[in-house]
Structure formats: structure tokens, C-alpha cells
Amino acid sequence: MSSGTPRTGGPVPKYERLRRALAAAIGALGDDAALPTERELAVQHGVSRATVRQALEALEAAGLVYRVQGAGTYVAPRTVAKTLSLTSFSEDMRAKGLTPGSRVVVVGEAAADHDEAADLAVGTGTPLLRLVRVRLADSAPMCVETSRLVAARVPGLAAMDLTGSLYALLAEHFEIRPRRADQAVRSVVTGEEQSALLGIASRSPALRVDRVSYDERGAPVESTTSLYRADRYEIRFAVHREAP
């Protein structure tokens, strides 16, 4: 009679062996690459199509592939994990072995509204440099980023090459170095304009990150709103329980 405890050490099911083989093969493929058809996989691995289907379902549940009805199975885009350390987008992408880039959408001066003025500790109506960019990883859109800085603190920034790291420009040309930040994260859905910039369907899930960064003196440096594709980005953080 069974004790109810799962057996261990027995033969590995066929679908699990196939799942492992496919997972290893997927690692060498690019994002959105097509996998062979179920029939082709069954022939290649000497298993039934039911076994192939079970292996693909397990891979899909693990987020390694996605399936399009009537079209096939494809490699799921890799997600980028962001920790709560104060790093730039460019630093995050390079840490993951990806090439960062940007496409500038809007750059120019605008008067600070009430919330922007509060974030940057200036009066309402103060001229701000507002920079909107689509941030890229290996040329693929990852997020729409809106940065706001007090224009008087960064004269000439708008004329510089803004396709790279903003933090690097601030340090090199203005001796401004963010040291800490207050950050809030919430789930949203994308609007039509944001979706078009990110190359995704309208009302797709996204992560909105609002951040105000401060320099070593505690003065606000930048107010940023970033809208990340939820299918390509995740935020990780460690939590600790205080000793009683």
C-alpha cells in the first residue's frame, strides 16, 4: 500500500528527459526563435507527440517558451532582473551581457508642474529639461523613460549625445553623481502611444517605476518615470526579518 510519499530515484519520465534537452537547446537560441514543430520534435527524439506536447507545456509554464495558436512554439524573450541598488539602465543592461542604447523621442525645456516642483525642490514653473527616451537592450525596446532635471543645473545637456548613459553625462560634464534614490513601483497597462514606442499591443501589462535621485548633499538631481515591459523586466529585492 502506498504511503503517500512521492517516490524518488526512479526512472525519469520521457517528457522530463525531453524537457531538459529542449531547455538546454533553447539556451543557444535567440529571443522569439521558432522551435521545430511537434511532429518534427517527435521524430527527432523518438517519442510520441503527446510526450512532446507535455514537455512543451512544462517549458511554457516555466516561462521558457510561448506558443502561438496555428503558428508554433517560440523562445520566450529573456527577462532582465533589476535589483534595488541605484544603477543606471545602461549599467543594468551591461551587467546582463546586453548592449544598452536609446532612441530620443523628446528633449526640451518645460515648466515644472506642482508634482515635479515638489520632487526637485524648486518652485512651480521652474524651467526643467525634460527628456523622453525609448531604452533599448540589444536594439529591442525595453522601456519608455521620462527624465526631468532642473535646466539651470545642466546647461547644454540637451545638445549632447543622449543615446547613452545619462548618469555618465551628469558625472563627466556637471560633476553630478546620484548617491541614493526614493523609488516606487506599481503595475499599470500601456496606452496607445507607449505601446507603439515599445512595439507591443495596447493595454499590455507594464511596470511603472517613479524615482527621485539625490546627490551626496541630499539635493534632488533627477525625477524619472520609467515604463518597463512586464514581459521583459522584473524587479528583485532581498527582505530581512529583524531580530526580536
pLDDT of res. 157:
97
Confidence category of residue 131, pLDDT binned at 50, 70, 90: very high
What domains are there in the chain, each with its CATH number? Answer: 14-75 (1.10.10.10), 80-235 (3.40.1410.10)
Q: How far is CA 113 from the centre of its chain?
A: 28
Share of the chain above pLDDT 90, in %: 56
DSSP per residue, 174-220? H-----EEEEEEEEEE--HHHHHHHTS-TT-EEEEEEEEEE-TTS-E
Does 5 have pLDDT greater than 60?
Answer: no
Phi, psi dihedral angles at 134 (to 5 degrees) = -95, 120
Does 57 have pLDDT greater than 60?
Answer: yes
Averaged pLDDT, 120-145: 94
pLDDT of res. 82:
60
The C-alpha atoms of residue 133 and residue 145 are separated, in whole angstroms, by: 5
Reduced to 3 states (helix: H, G, I; strand: E, B; else coil), residue 56 is: helix
Residue with cell 535567440: 30
pTM: 0.67
Phi, psi dihedral angles at 33 (to 5 degrees) = -70, 140
pLDDT in tens, 180-213: 999 999 999 999 999 999 988 899 999 999 999 9
